[in-house]
Amino acid sequence: MSVVSLLGVKNLNNPAPFTASYQFEITFECLEQLQKGEYWLVFPSSKSSLLTSSFRFGMETHLRWIRHFVRPPSQHSLFHTNPAESNYHSSEYDQELDSLLVGPIPVGVNKFIFEADAPDVKRIPTSEMLGVTVILLTCSYDGREFVRVGYYVNNEYDSEELSAEPPAKPVIERIRRNVLAEKPRVTRFAIKW
């Protein structure tokens, strides 16, 4: 049984311009006092509420922008990925958007707002700006991942004219992202608490 259960993740700014920050309201329940030293949750974003600079034993969560669908991420983060048909299946294009420490964690239901910057457009090949991608939100305790939430994200132009005939160089300020928030892929992992 998990000592910490993710109850919900709500995307607060969706749809949004491609360059807008990601904002998630994360609700979780801590069922009992954690067993190790100082108890911390780590969630991705230096802009999140409840940010703290201390960390010992705790839960880590990151927001990552992943540029491929082929392999799972090796770190805990919020990630973004390339379209499925992409030629860029390398971790070189992965971006960890942010991470955050939250704590100490009281027993009961807890909630906070997590905010992370959009992916760095300079690190995205121009041929990969539009289409379906993925973001991942992960959480771990004492270095062991116990939950991962993945969302498909569709990036497209805000007008039919640009969509019908996309320019060779993407017009970033006209690209909108739509996180398919109603269909998250949640994976839970059994860990020793």
Q: Is 16 exposed, middle or buried (0-12, 13-18, 19+ CB in 10 A)?
A: middle
Tell me which residue range forms the domain holding 175.
4-188
Task: Work out how many domains the chain is built from and give that number.
Answer: 1
Q: For the chain, what percent of residues have pLDDT higher than 70? A: 68
**Token digits for 55?**
């960390």
pLDDT of amino acid 93: 73
pLDDT of amino acid 114: 84
Report the CATH number that the domain containing residue 105 is assigned in CATH.
2.60.40.1490
Does 136 reside within a domain?
yes
Does 153 reside within a domain?
yes
Tokens 């048909």 label which residue? 85
Mean pLDDT of 103-129: 87
